[in-house]
Amino acid sequence: MSESEKRPPEKECRRCGHCCQPYFSLYVSEEDEARWQKELREDILRQLRFERENIIWRNDQPVNIKTGETVRRCHWLKKSSDGTTLCAIHDTKPKICKDYTPGGSELCVQYRRVRDYIIGIDLHGTLLEPGEKFPEELAVPVAQELDRLKSKALLWLCTGNDLSFVDKKIPASILEMLDGYVLETGCSLSRDRRTEEVITSADEQHVIKELEQMLRGMNFPELDYFAHRLTTISMFTKNPRQFFHKVKAVVDRTEYQARVSVTYSSVAVDILPRGYDKFRGLYAVSEGRKTIGVA
């Protein structure tokens, strides 16, 4: 092996700015913001606030909503006296920049062109209190942020109980940004936000229907109601943890025990075909492409 082949990849940042040129904005972590607050870097924090309030993504380009101008690169790339481009906050740059490893053009990911991902937002089980909805004051900034990040994902998805649940709980301005839903804990989908597509097999659906019919006939005193589901069972109750143990004990004594999974949330006991979850639903929509789940 030659000496050059033994040499490890270069990891030291030379502040050349080459890998930063294509970027507009990278993801800033809570750790980054906490560090800048501790360091009293109001200049960085002020720029963050400005971008969040004024920059959206339109036609795959970052646009200043006040001026209509396209913003083409990171605000902190500055020209030095000799004409080279340097990072003005190199000493306290975001973690994502620190983690970047130089060493080849194949590693220079141009974030504006990355569209390999299906991104899923988990709304399931988070807005279940009677009458509770997504706060209206958050609708516009969330929709703007989804729009700004649109060029980085092939699809925006969210999870929910069923179509009516999502439509009732989420403002129209945000629904318009979504491309589909993963429903019933990944057992059904909506690719057009209007119709549901069951991805469980006919045999699995038969098992669920038979089991639901049996459970309905038991008249549990703890049960408030069975929610409408296409291919799962959802039994709402005021004490889901206690009710879960009772229902699971019943199911475990039946012929269906090996065919289903019994779970519970803060409001209900859920039964679904074994092997299904939200990630499986997300994977079904992604058709083998990379996925990112955001809770």
Question: Are 137 and 218 in the same domain?
Answer: no
17 residue type, one letter: G
Question: Are 50 and 176 in the same domain?
Answer: no
Question: Are 88 and 223 in the same domain?
Answer: no
> pLDDT band at 113, cuts 50/70/90?
very low
Q: Is residue 6 part of a domain?
A: no
- Domain boundary at 61, 88, 112, which? 112
- Identify whether the C-beta of residue 146 lies closer than 8 Å to the C-beta of residue 177: yes
pLDDT at res. 281: 83
Q: Is residue 57 part of a domain?
A: yes
Question: Are 290 and 251 in the same domain?
Answer: no
Number of structural domains (the chain) is 3
Of all residues in the chain, the percent with pLDDT exceeding 90 is: 29
> Of 164, 126, 129, 159, whose CA–CA distance to 293 is shortest?
159
Q: Which of 87-101, 217-231, 249-263 has the lowest mean pLDDT?
A: 87-101
pLDDT at res. 70: 78
Beta-bridge mates of residue 237: 223
- Domain boundary at 51, 84, 112, which? 112
Q: For the chain, what is the mean pLDDT?
A: 78
Q: Is residue 2 part of a domain?
A: no
199 residue type, one letter: I
Question: Are 206 and 195 in the same domain?
Answer: no
Instruction: List the domain range (segments joined by +) for residue 288.
Output: 117-199+277-294
Question: Are 184 and 227 in the same domain?
Answer: no
Q: Is residue 40 part of a domain?
A: yes
Q: Which of 4-8, 132-136, 246-250 has the lowest mean pLDDT?
A: 4-8
> pLDDT band at 207, cuts 50/70/90?
very high
Question: Are 267 and 134 in the same domain?
Answer: no
What average pLDDT does range 285-293 have in this prediction? 66
pLDDT over threshold 50, residue 116: no
CA distances from 159 to 75, 110, 196, 236 (A): 35, 29, 13, 19
Q: Which of 104-113, 136-145, 168-177, 248-257 has the lowest mean pLDDT?
A: 104-113
> pLDDT band at 32, cuts 50/70/90?
confident
Query: Residue 285 is part of a domain; what is its CATH number?
Result: 3.40.50.1000
What average pLDDT does range 246-271 have in this prediction? 94
Question: Are 245 and 132 in the same domain?
Answer: no
Question: Are 194 and 90 in the same domain?
Answer: no
Half-sphere exposure of 77 (CA within 13 A, CB side): 19
pLDDT at res. 14: 61
Burial of 85 (0-12, 13-18, 19+ CB in 10 A): middle
Out of 2-6, 25-29, 106-110, 258-262, the most confident range is 258-262
Question: Are 183 and 46 in the same domain?
Answer: no
Q: Is residue 166 part of a domain?
A: yes
Q: Is residue 152 part of a domain?
A: yes
> pLDDT band at 262, cuts 50/70/90?
very high
Question: Are 256 and 175 in the same domain?
Answer: no
pTM of the model: 0.55
Q: Which of 43-47, 142-146, 200-204 has the lowest mean pLDDT?
A: 142-146
pLDDT at res. 256: 95
Q: Is residue 1 part of a domain?
A: no
What average pLDDT does range 146-156 have in this prediction? 69
- Identify whether the C-beta of residue 71 lies closer than 8 Å to the C-beta of residue 55: yes
Q: Is residue 5 part of a domain?
A: no
pLDDT over threshold 60, residue 106: no
pLDDT over threshold 80, residue 287: no
- Domain boundary at 77, 112, 147, which? 112
Question: Are 183 and 285 in the same domain?
Answer: yes
